[in-house]
């Protein structure tokens, strides 16, 4: 199976206030995902705070990942950077450390044109010599990939997938048909935006690039497998169980909520990198309630679901 298929779990990257990686905490999170049998790990994605970390710390994160779960679960590494030369260096670092794939967003302070993004991606794909996924994340980068640009990039060596934002109006089927017509059947298409993961999979997307799976991989995997099997009733029940968390993601941003979850579950005790601030007490109590609701649904579920917890 392609690295860009199934459930890809995106953990936070535990680090202190100076940006120094906590390798032991990261290893625990990654082992948790691997033991849950997710399909891949998305290391140093937006949830992984890649933009806040130095090249050295990003290299240490990849090395920690490969030492911990390398060969047991595919690891895709985010290599986004403002300068093409820096992204090239990060791609080579990931390759040297043994990563299985790359994720690249067009990070920029100056708004980019399509040809600039094309050249940027072509350079990084060539330097990394690993399967690369296009990260179409206009909410962060303020750059939206056109269908034509995705089509052009799909023909570049090593570029094999795209990570899409949720479509306006939720029409996954039409967007998937357009993308597949423009890129070919071998090119993998997945979605981020966790509350759209279930409908995207039911519509036939290849991948759910999931934030929540970075800390709750078993529950996210149960939802993924139900959707892949076309079990609509189970998907609806599981997705409703996640509903309070999806509401918190939309209100506060999944980044902040994930750090709160990590603390509440005693997975690691770190705050988000400044200037991002931790959630306030009232919001944290809502996270507690959301986790309790999720746990109640899965605890009352089938034997298979209980085994996945």
Domains by residue range for the chain, with CATH: 6-230 (3.20.20.70)
**Residue 87 preceded by cis peptide, ω within 30:** no
255 vs 248: CA distance, rounded Å: 10
Q: Are strands 101-104 and 159-164 parallel, antiparallel or unpaired?
A: unpaired
Q: Give CA torsion, residues 42, 44, 48, 52, to 10 deg.
A: -170
Q: Cα 244 to the chain's mean position, in Å?
A: 20
Q: What is the token pair recorded at 47?
A: 């949830």
CA distances to 85, 115, 120 from 149, rounded to whole Å, are 21, 8, 12
Diameter of the chain measured on Cα atoms: 52
Q: What is the token pair recorded at 10?
A: 């995106």
Quote the radius of gyration of the chain (alpha carbons, Å): 18
For residue 37, give the 3-state DSSP assignment.
Answer: coil
57 vs 13: CA distance, rounded Å: 10
Those residues with Cβ within 8 angstroms of residue 219's Cβ, 6 or more apart along the chain or in another chain:
212, 238, 241, 242, 294, 298, 308, 309
**pLDDT tens track, the chain, 309 positions:** 789 999 999 999 999 999 999 999 999 999 999 999 999 999 999 999 999 999 999 999 999 999 999 999 999 999 999 999 999 999 999 999 999 999 999 999 999 999 999 999 999 999 999 999 999 999 999 999 999 999 999 999 999 999 999 999 999 999 999 999 999 999 999 999 999 999 999 999 999 999 999 999 999 999 999 999 999 999 999 999 999 999 999 999 999 999 999 999 999 999 999 999 999 999 999 999 999 999 999 987 543 333 333
User: What pLDDT does residue 301 have?
Assistant: 54
102 vs 303: CA distance, rounded Å: 36
Active site residues: 135, 163
CA distances to 120, 208, 215, 227 from 8, rounded to whole Å, are 24, 6, 12, 14
User: What pLDDT does residue 307 have?
Assistant: 34
30 vs 99: CA distance, rounded Å: 14
Q: What's this model's pTM, rounded to 2 decimal places?
A: 0.95
Asked if 171 and 200 count as a contact pair (C-beta separation under 8 A), the reply is: no
Asked if 114 and 107 count as a contact pair (C-beta separation under 8 A), the reply is: no
Those residues with Cβ within 8 angstroms of residue 71's Cβ, 6 or more apart along the chain or in another chain:
none
Residue given tokens 């990590």 in the structure block: 262
């Amino acid at each position: 199976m392609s690295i860009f298929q199934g459930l890809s779990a995106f953990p936070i990257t535990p680090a202190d206030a100076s940006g120094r990686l906590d390798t032991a905490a990261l290893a625990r999170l990654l082992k948790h995902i691997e033991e849950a049998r997710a399909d891949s790990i998305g290391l140093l994605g937006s949830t992984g705070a890649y933009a806040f970390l130095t090249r050295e710390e990003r290299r240490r994160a990849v090395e920690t990942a490969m030492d911990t779960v390398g060969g047991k679960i595919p690891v895709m590494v985010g290599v986004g950077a403002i300068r093409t030369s820096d992204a090239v260096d990060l791609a080579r670092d990931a390759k040297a450390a043994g990563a299985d794939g790359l994720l690249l967003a067009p990070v920029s302070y100056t708004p980019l044109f399509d040809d600039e993004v094309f050249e940027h991606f072509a350079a990084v794909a060539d330097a990394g010599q690993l399967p690369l996924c296009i990260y179409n994340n206009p909410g962060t980068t303020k750059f939206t990939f056109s269908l034509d640009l995705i089509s052009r990039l799909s023909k570049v060596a090593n570029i094999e997938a795209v990570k899409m934002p949720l479509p306006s109006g939720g029409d996954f089927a039409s967007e998937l048909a357009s993308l597949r017509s423009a890129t070919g059947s071998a090119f993998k298409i997945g979605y981020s935006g966790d509350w759209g993961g279930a409908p995207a999979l039911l519509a036939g997307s290849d991948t759910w690039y999931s934030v929540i799976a970075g800390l709750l991989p078993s529950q996210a995997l149960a939802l993924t497998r139900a959707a892949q099997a076309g079990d609509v009733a189970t998907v609806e029940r599981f997705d409703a169980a996640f509903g309070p968390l999806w509401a918190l993601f939309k209100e506060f941003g999944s980044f902040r909520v994930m750090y709160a979850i990590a603390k509440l579950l005693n997975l690691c005790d770190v705050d988000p990198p400044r200037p991002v601030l931790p959630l306030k007490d009232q919001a944290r109590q809502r996270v507690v309630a959301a986790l309790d609701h999720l746990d109640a649904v899965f605890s009352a579920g089938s034997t298979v679901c209980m085994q996945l917890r």
